[in-house]
Amino acid sequence: MPKLMLTILCLLICSTLAHAADHTVKLLSQGSDGKIMVFEPNFIKIAQGDSVTFVPSDATHNAESFSVPSEKSSFNTPYGEATRVTFSEEGVVLVKCLPHFALGMIGVVQVGDNADSTKALADWNKAKAAVAMNKEIIDEALKKVK
């Protein structure tokens, strides 16, 4: 009997651990819709504890958070290297490619079902002045947060 209980316990724990999913966001010089300098997708909703692998198309792109629920969610990936980032905090994270930030190369990651976008919207409104194009795409992406 204890063996059976251990097996059940293990199955429960293992299935919980296996539940965290890994998603992929591409950092592209040209997106599949023809737009240049994009995160694809530029909005992704994931569960708390999931990870996202940011995959740059070449060495000119990276992924760097610029709005986070708190500092512990900050990250900065190396140029040109697919890098996996785990999101352990609920909320909305805004991510930029540093060299193409002014071109609007920005992505939105919603973590969890009840993410509050207030901080992300405020940070985006502050950052907008430095962005020359694709602003409306980011506005649209942020509207998907719910």
- Please identify the residue of the shown chain whose CB is closest to the bound Cu ion: 97
Q: Is residue 61 at the binding interface for Cu ion, with CB under 5 A as the rule?
A: yes
Site of tokens 């958070």 = 65
Q: Is residue 25 at the binding interface for Cu ion, with CB under 5 A as the rule?
A: no
- State which residue, 55 or 97, has the beta carbon closest to Cu ion: 97
Residues 30-59 interacting with Cu ion (rule: CB under 5 A)? none
Q: Is residue 26 at the binding interface for Cu ion, with CB under 5 A as the rule?
A: no
Q: Is residue 105 at the binding interface for Cu ion, with CB under 5 A as the rule?
A: yes
**Least distance from Cu ion to the Cβ atom of residue 54, Å:** 11
Q: Residues interacting with Cu ion, by CB under 5 A?
A: 61, 97, 100, 105
